[in-house]
Structure 1
Amino acid sequence: MNRKPYLIAVTGLAVLSIQALASPNGLAFPQPNHHSNSVIAQNSEEQTRIRVNQKASPAVVYINTGKSSGSGFIVSSDGLIITNAHVLQDAPATVTVVLEDGKRLPANVIGFAKNGVDLAAIKIRNQKNLPTLSLAKSAQVGQSVYAIGSPFSYDNQNNFTAGVLSNLDEQDGIIKHDARINPGNSGGPLLNSQAQVIGVNTAIQLDRNGSNSGISIAILVNKIQPFLTAIRQGNISRLRR
């Protein structure tokens, strides 16, 4: 397997083109676009992005361990949250979760996926009727994808970006896409156009100079469902391995 340099997306550990007509005074004015079909298509894409963000954001959380921070998403109305294992690296038994409305709540670290899968679960205490995200059954190269998370700090909570799924490795459970993510996005959901989770944003692929290549890495949904089953069965690691 060809190993690529990745930067995990966790913090605290270490135009629209328009035609223009020149005017005599040096100003430029946009040329009207008379192609109504392209305008309709653009508005449709915008409406999809708006709808996905409005539907999904209430279930996306900011996680602060005291040593690092990341993102996560709620999968059960009583507060079970999925995130990356590396977000909880050296975390205490209880971490702080911040909901979209700014409410801060304590959450217990439940456990970690086995076999090196970079997934973990935490659970908010004494909650019910929380907003949740559902899992998609599959993902496909070429589909539109949407990322929500808290890059760099809480100040950027629930930042929303969009892109395209560019590569899919079902055997290793890896998605590559070009929706922009940064440190702090780790553990946040990668969504389809129905606001269903198709992956967990995890890392950034680096170029030869060690800079962000623009390729984002997520764990595929086919790794998330088995982890949820393992949680229900108690077949998870209490310590990160």
Structure 2
Amino acid sequence: MRISQVPRSIRQLSTHVLAIFLGVVLTVSCLQVLPSQAEPAPDPVVTQRPSTAVGAIGSSSFVTAAVNRVGSAVVRIDTEKTITRPVDPIMEDPFLRRFFGESFPQQSPTEQLRGLGSGFILDKSGIILTNAHVVDQADKVTVRLKDGRTFEGKVKGIDEVTDLAVVKINAGSDLPVAPLGSSSNVQVGDWAIAVGNPLGFDNTVTLGIVSTLKRSSAQVGISDKRLDFIQTDAAINPGNSGGPLLNGQGEVIGINTAIRADAMGIGFAIPIDKAKAIAAQLQRDGKVVHPYLGVQMVTLTPQLARQNNSDPNSAIQIPEVNGVLVMRVVPNSPAAKAGIRRGDVIVQIDNKPITSAEQLQGVVEDSRLGEMLQVKVQRGNQTQVLSVRTAQLQDIS
């Protein structure tokens, strides 16, 4: 159980947002879109051209230049994973086996699953950045370059909390490297170019814009992650996971990660500034430390509190203040040990005002493992300051 933000409505604790990670099967109603399992030869870069209005200001030349700058550093990642299935008891029935003899079907207890994703080369030594869900629990990772060369990939580190992973290939020192930009310079309305291998169509490029910034993982519907995404309308599909999102200059500003299954033209990318910091830790340690408190929470305003308090069926009365309402405390977590309770409203940490769940999560994420935080809570008509020592997120039982 992790720190997570629940939806804004106090009386409705679940969300109807469905976020689909792009390296897995996408299901919409009765339609299944599966990554291609074929092995097509590398295709030339396919560019989805902008509209006529864009063409009027220079056609796709800036897109071509951007793709030429980074395209050879984008890789395809194929994975294989063996899973064990429970044997159907009827298949073990001795009577049926004797009756049917050799014609009785045999059930294999194992199954091979294949996956497809994208990534890009960070340095000439063969370090590749991709999504954690692309390579997680894979028995075999194969990396294919745009020029057709293939290499066995070794997963150096995975961080499920930020959905990032580092893969290493041994391919000499002449590898192309993707130029990295800065996501802190990105603005809404900037060009966004997605490069990857969607649905097995290698070396595919799509064009759009940055739709918005700092879209929290809770808003997207992925409450077990700690991310603020870049939102884009550049077409992203299964197989794009781990591929780069570029700006108009051909610099990587994000890692394509997720889409909304109930929408068109809404995709999400991990900002490259966050990814660079995580990638450095994964290369060094193979894992990332994430401090946590152990609460589920929602941003609270006086108006929301009044709405709750005026409801005769409300389970609790909430202080009518700005802060973060604790909806649940994880048993044996730092918050539980410190005495934080359901219904408390966190209003300060270390004398700094807290007005949103995203802000609280950011403060905790930026703290040190084992650091003692002074958490001020409003409990009914009383105010208390509790000392909470952060712990490692992966230690949650």
Coarse TM-score class (shorter-chain normalised): 0.7 to 0.9
- Aligned-residue Cα RMSD (Å) equals 2.3
How far apart in 2 are the matches of 1:221 and 1:206? Answer: 24
2:248 alignment partner in structure 1: 193
* Structure 2 residue 18 is matched with structure 1 residue 5: yes
SS at match of 2:119: strand
- Say if 1:77 and 1:131, in contact at 8 Å, map to a contact too: yes
CA shift, 1:232, in A, is 4.1
Counterpart residue identity of residue 254, structure 2: G
Counterpart residue identity of residue 142, structure 1: G
2:79 alignment partner in structure 1: 65
How many residues end up aligned between the 2 structures? Answer: 209
Residues 214 and 16 from structure 1, CA distance in 2 versus in 1: closer, same or farther, beyond 3 angstroms? Answer: closer
How far apart in 2 are the matches of 1:49 and 1:147? Answer: 10
How far apart in 2 are the matches of 1:195 and 1:65? Answer: 28
The correspondence for 2:191, drawn from 134, 144, 149, is: 144
SS at match of 1:52: helix
Gap regions ≥5 residues in structure 2:
8-14, 27-33, 35-49, 81-113, 217-226, 289-393
CA shift, 1:228, in A, is 2.4
Residues 91 and 128 from structure 1, CA distance in 2 versus in 1: closer, same or farther, beyond 3 angstroms? Answer: same
* Structure 2 residue 170 is matched with structure 1 residue 125: yes
- Say if 2:166 and 2:283, in contact at 8 Å, map to a contact too: no
How far apart in 2 are the matches of 1:191 and 1:42? Answer: 22
Higher relative CO (Cα under 8 Å, sequence separation at least 6) belongs to: 1
Deviation string for 1:173-220 (max 9, x for gaps)? 30110000110000000011121111100111122xxxx432011111
The correspondence for 1:230, drawn from 281, 287, 306, is: 281
How far apart in 1 are the matches of 2:177 and 2:215? Answer: 25
Deviation string for 1:91-111 (max 9, x for gaps)? 02x411110011111111111
Q: Which moved more, 1:53-62 or 1:2-11?
A: 2-11
2:61 alignment partner in structure 1: 47
1:111 alignment partner in structure 2: 157
How far apart in 2 are the matches of 1:46 and 1:11? Answer: 31
SS at match of 1:224: helix
1:99 alignment partner in structure 2: 145
- Say if 2:246 and 2:253, in contact at 8 Å, map to a contact too: yes
SS at match of 1:58: helix
1:220 alignment partner in structure 2: 271
- Say if 1:107 and 1:124, in contact at 8 Å, map to a contact too: yes
CA shift, 1:73, in A, is 0.3
1:56 alignment partner in structure 2: 70
How far apart in 1 are the matches of 2:272 and 2:215? Answer: 9
1:29 alignment partner in structure 2: none
* Structure 2 residue 102 is matched with structure 1 residue 88: no
How far apart in 1 are the matches of 2:51 and 2:189? Answer: 21
- Say if 2:164 and 2:279, in contact at 8 Å, map to a contact too: no
Q: Which moved more, 1:70-79 or 1:124-133?
A: 124-133
SS at match of 2:239: coil
CA shift, 1:233, in A, is 3.0
The correspondence for 1:79, drawn from 111, 126, 135, is: 126
- Say if 1:98 and 1:104, in contact at 8 Å, map to a contact too: yes
- Say if 2:142 and 2:152, in contact at 8 Å, map to a contact too: yes
The correspondence for 1:202, drawn from 257, 262, 266, is: 257
1:162 alignment partner in structure 2: 207
With the length of structure 1 as denominator, give the TM-score of the two structures: 0.79
CA shift, 1:235, in A, is 5.2
Residues 12 and 170 from structure 1, CA distance in 2 versus in 1: closer, same or farther, beyond 3 angstroms? Answer: closer
- Larger-Rg structure: 2
Residues 60 and 185 from structure 1, CA distance in 2 versus in 1: closer, same or farther, beyond 3 angstroms? Answer: same
How far apart in 1 are the matches of 2:128 and 2:58? Answer: 31
- Say if 1:11 and 1:152, in contact at 8 Å, map to a contact too: no
Counterpart residue identity of residue 121, structure 1: V
Residues 234 and 54 from structure 1, CA distance in 2 versus in 1: closer, same or farther, beyond 3 angstroms? Answer: same
How far apart in 1 are the matches of 2:171 and 2:70? Answer: 22
Counterpart residue identity of residue 187, structure 2: Q
Gap regions ≥5 residues in structure 1:
18-37
